[in-house]
Amino acid sequence: MTRVEVTDLVKEFSVRDGLRRRRFRAVDGVSFALEPGRTVALVGESGSGKSTIARILSRLERPTSGVVEVRRDDGAPVPAARYRRHVQMVFQDPFASLNPFHSIEHHIARPLRIHRRTRGTDETHERVVEMLERVNLDASFASRRPHELSGGQRQRVAIARALAPGAQVVLADEPVSMLDVSIRLGVLNLLGRLQREDDLAVLYITHDLATARHFSDEILVLYRGRVVERGPADAVILDPHHDYTRLLALAAPDPERIGKVVSGEAAPDRATLDSAVCFNHFTGEWERAAA
Task: Report pLDDT for 253.
Answer: 65
Reduced to 3 states (helix: H, G, I; strand: E, B; else coil), residue 152 is: helix
Task: Report pLDDT for 258.
Answer: 53
Task: Report pLDDT for 54.
Answer: 94
**Which helix or strand (DSSP H or E) is residue 186 part of?**
helix 181-198
**Domain coordinates of the chain in residue numbers?**
2-288
Task: Report pLDDT for 27.
Answer: 94
Q: Cα–Cα distance between 182 and 238 in angstroms, integer?
A: 25
Angle (nearest 5°) at CA 174 between 262 and 237: 45
Task: Report pLDDT for 267.
Answer: 67
Task: Report pLDDT for 176.
Answer: 87
DSSP letters along 274-285, please?
Answer: -TTEEEETTTTE
Q: Cα–Cα distance between 186 and 92 in angstroms, integer?
A: 16
Task: Report pLDDT for 56.
Answer: 95
Task: Report pLDDT for 257.
Answer: 57
Model-level pTM?
Answer: 0.90
Q: What is the pLDDT along the chain (291 residues), one digit of tens a residue?
A: 889 999 999 999 988 888 888 888 999 999 999 999 999 999 998 889 999 999 999 999 999 999 999 998 888 888 888 898 999 999 988 888 899 999 999 999 999 999 988 888 999 999 999 999 999 999 999 999 999 999 899 999 999 999 999 999 999 999 988 888 888 889 999 999 999 999 999 999 998 888 898 899 999 999 999 999 999 999 999 999 999 999 888 876 666 655 554 455 566 777 678 888 999 999 999 998 765
Give 28-32's long-range contacts (Cβ < 8 A, gap of 24+): 28/224, 28/225, 28/226, 28/289, 29/66, 29/226, 29/289, 29/290, 30/6, 30/66, 30/220, 30/222, 30/225, 30/226, 30/227, 31/6, 31/7, 31/227, 32/6, 32/218, 32/220, 32/227, 32/230
Task: Report pLDDT for 270.
Answer: 73
> Candidates 1.10.10.10, 3.40.50.300, 3.40.50.1370, 1.10.150.120; correct CATH number of 2-288?
3.40.50.300
Q: Cα–Cα distance between 284 and 282 in angstroms, integer?
A: 6
